Structure 1
Amino acid sequence: MSRLIAALEHRELTVFAHIDHAEHARRAELSLTPVDVVLFGDPHAGTPLMASDPRVGLDLPLRMVVWQDGEMAFVGHHDPRELAGDYELTEHKEILDRMAELLEAVSVEVAGE
């Protein structure tokens, strides 16, 4: 998680929320291995998408999940280019491509590859 947050801050992205699912499970007296979701983005990228189709607010800001399986940690995300098929965003291909490139670069950095 610390590498993910550092990678986002390095890129001057806004972290809107951090959800620690394992902590919430503990509060409910349940057990869960670490699973964290971070919502982040840049209003300069997301706002034009929401102006075109406000429904995309269901999928924005961008998010990444980090989870632990045994001694290994993993990071995952959806491909934002798929949003063009779900919403009226075909004119924003360039923004969606940049979002996808960003998520891939952050994933590689966080994974230490």
Structure 2
Amino acid sequence: MKFMLVFLALIIAAPACADNGIITKPSNFSVKDTISRFEAAVKSREGAGLMVFTEIDHAAAGKKFGIDMRPRTVVIFGNPKLGTPVMAKTPLLAIDNPPKALIWEDDQGKVWLSYNSADYLYKTIYPRHGLEAPPNYSAFAKTLSDITDEATK
């Protein structure tokens, strides 16, 4: 019974949940393949200004100090054509931006991709820095959804 309740809670809470500003999607691929697919999806939109800046492999960093953890890699990506002018005027925005995606494996070996929703970025992060959301940020939300779908499905 306890297992069933935990299982139901995971099913309800985990897939594509954005209540706390984080959207998490299950991946049909390994962590390595999900990262590759995510980065390829971002790079395929380079004409629109998107790019991958870097990766942070938390598991590899921990391993250097004798700490084992399941794969946890953050991919930092964004659109310098749009983000740089805003950061030039509001330097502290750079502490929260550019956007990031976390590709991770849970204790059962399931792979997930998590990222901050566009709503969170523009309704929480931007106001934190005294900024207003751009009038049409729904296009960015769709782009995020499309990119993460390409990486996970």
Q: TM-score, normalised by structure 2?
A: 0.65
Q: Which amino acid aligns with 2:68?
A: S
Maintained 8 Å contact 1:49/1:92: no
Residue in 2 aligned with 1:29? 66
Residue in 2 aligned with 1:9? 43
Residue in 2 aligned with 1:110? 151
Residue in 1 aligned with 2:9? none
Q: Distance in 1 between matches of 2:133 and 2:105?
A: 38
Residue in 2 aligned with 1:60? 97
Q: Which amino acid aligns with 2:63?
A: R
Shift of 1:85: 2.2
Number of aligned residue pairs? 111
Maintained 8 Å contact 1:18/1:37: yes
Change (3 A) 1:34 1:45: same
Larger relative contact order, structure 1 or 2 (CA cutoff 8 Å, min sep 6)? 2
Residues 1:101 and 2:150 are matched in the alignment: no
Residues 1:71 and 2:109 are matched in the alignment: yes
Shift of 1:67: 0.3
Change (3 A) 1:72 1:91: closer
Q: Distance in 2 between matches of 1:85 and 1:76?
A: 22
Q: Distance in 2 between matches of 1:33 and 1:91?
A: 36
Q: Distance in 2 between matches of 1:29 and 1:98?
A: 43
Structure 1 alignment gaps of length 5 or more: none
* Secondary structure in structure 1 of the residue aligned to 2:68: coil
Q: Distance in 2 between matches of 1:42 and 1:107?
A: 16
Taking every aligned residue pair, what percent have the same amino acid on both sides?
A: 30
Q: Distance in 2 between matches of 1:97 and 1:56?
A: 20
Q: TM-score, normalised by structure 1?
A: 0.85
Residue in 1 aligned with 2:25? none
Change (3 A) 1:110 1:63: same
